[in-house]
């Protein structure tokens, strides 16, 4: 009997060895970070900066793969089904929390289909418009929108995109439904705003800062608690006449459920290193944002954030009655 038990124990140990060894020597090859949106968009920009720095720390290339569609759920779904070996990751924004309500038939359980690595950044939003729109300040824009609700157009990058969520909150805050114009990505939405085909957009500073600085679009407010160093002349929404209007598009890094804890911890430590990289800090600042502090670039902090944000957005989306399926 003792011999049999010993044999079983040895077999179990032998089975566990490859798994343990892979965790100890991780990473041994290229890591892919899936961005569930189009290349060139705000989340893609953030991811590429972080991936470049993590590559240096991990000693293996970290590449970005864009898997857009269905408000970010296609990319998230791919990662949810990927091998839990640490070589396929997901960098998603606030849409990770809103999709849990926007999509009533998701092919994965948002809270339980992933392992958590850490928060990356919390990007402020900007309320912007085509440069020749008549109102000169936010109060004027709100009055103009209310008076022309049937014709004022609000662009967004598609259901579930940051610009869609912020636009929805803006309309809720001013208690006026406007004409929404969804696009297949932030790029074409911004192109039409620049061309004057649409009137308003509420989007991340990572996508709007350069256009605001160049004077090609008109900025009415930022949605952060304080003004941004990179846009010092743009008032906060609170200052400009929209009390309590604060929206931040937070980003988090995830792995498939079942990824070994040793690997997620290694990735979390690498993320923390990347977020302190002077180049990442400087580039984020140019885009109007900042890296998450070390205490937030952890699995526990990201999990808590996702749970809280699902609870926050669920009543907003249900009240609006806007679903993606």
pLDDT at 20: 47
* Domain at 29-122+248-320: CATH code: 3.40.190.150
The stretch 119-134 carries a mean pLDDT of 96
210 to each of 68, 140, 310, 316, how far by Cα in Å? Answer: 24, 24, 31, 31
Cβ atoms within 10 A of the Cβ of 20, count? 12
27 prior amide bond cis, ω within 30: yes
* Domains in the chain: boundaries: 29-122+248-320, 124-240
251 φ/ψ angles, rounded to the nearest 5 degrees: -125, 140
Q: Does the pLDDT of residue 14 top 80, yes or no? A: no
Cβ neighbors of 231 (< 8 A, separation 6 or more) are 126, 205, 209, 212, 213, 219, 222, 288
Tokens linked to 92: 């998603």
Tens of pLDDT, residue by residue over 195-233, are 999 999 999 998 899 999 999 999 999 999 999 999 999
pLDDT value of residue 67? 96
* Mean per-residue pLDDT, 33-54: 94
Taking alpha carbons only, the member of 203, 167, 166, 170 closest to residue 187 is 203
- DSSP 8-state symbol, 71: G
Q: Are the C-beta atoms of residues 65 and 34 closer than 8 Å to each other?
A: yes
Tell me if domain 29-122+248-320 and domain 124-240 are identical in fold. Answer: yes
pLDDT digits (tens, 9 = 90+) for 166-200: 998 899 899 999 999 999 888 899 999 999 999 99
Domain 124-240, CATH homologous superfamily name and number: Periplasmic binding protein-like II (3.40.190.10)
* Cα–Cα distance measured from residue 129 to residue 196, given in angstroms and rounded to the nearest whole number: 9
For position 22, what pLDDT does the model report? 62
Cα–Cα dist 118/303, whole Å: 8
The rounded Cα 79 to chain-centroid distance in angstroms is 15
DSSP bridge pairs for 252: 92, 119
Please tell me the pTM assigned to this model: 0.83
Q: Which of 142, 171, 157 is nearest to 317 (CA)?
A: 171
């Amino acid at each position: 009997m003792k011999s049999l038990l010993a044999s079983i124990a040895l077999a179990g140990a032998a089975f566990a060895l490859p798994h343990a060894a892979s965790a100890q020597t991780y990473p041994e090859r290229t890591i892919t970070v899936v961005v569930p949106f189009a290349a060139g968009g705000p989340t893609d920009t953030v991811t590429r900066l972080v991936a470049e720095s993590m590559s240096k720390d991990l000693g293996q290339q970290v590449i970005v793969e864009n898997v857009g569609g269905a408000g970010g759920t296609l990319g998230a779904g791919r990662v949810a089904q990927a091998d839990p070996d640490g070589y396929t990751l997901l960098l998603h924004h606030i849409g990770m929390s809103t999709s849990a309500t926007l999509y009533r038939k998701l092919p994965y359980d948002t809270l339980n289909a992933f392992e958590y690595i850490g928060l990356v950044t919390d990007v402020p939003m900007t309320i912007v418009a085509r440069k020749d729109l008549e109102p000169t300040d936010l109060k004027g824009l709100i009055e103009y929108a209310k008076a022309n609700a049937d014709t004022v157009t609000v662009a967004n990058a598609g259901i579930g995109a940051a610009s869609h969520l912020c636009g929805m909150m803006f309309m809720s805050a001013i208690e006026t439904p406007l004409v929404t114009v969804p696009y297949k990505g932030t790029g074409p939405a911004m192109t039409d705003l620049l061309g004057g085909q649409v009137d308003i957009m509420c989007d991340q500073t990572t996508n709007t800062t350069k256009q605001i600085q160049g004077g090609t679009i008109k900025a009415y407010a930022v949605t952060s608690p304080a003004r941004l160093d990179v846009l010092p002349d743009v008032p906060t929404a609170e200052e400009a006449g929209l009390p309590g209007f604060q929206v931040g598009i937070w980003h988090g890094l995830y792995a498939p459920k079942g990824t070994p804890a040793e690997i997620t911890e290694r990735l979390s430590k690498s993320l923390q290193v990347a977020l302190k990289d002077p180049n990442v800090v400087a580039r984020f600042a140019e885009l109007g944002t900042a890296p998450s502090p070390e205490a937030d670039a952890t699995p526990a902090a990201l999990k808590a954030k996702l749970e809280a944000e699902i609870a926050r957005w669920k009543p907003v989306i249900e009240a609006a009655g806007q679903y993606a399926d």
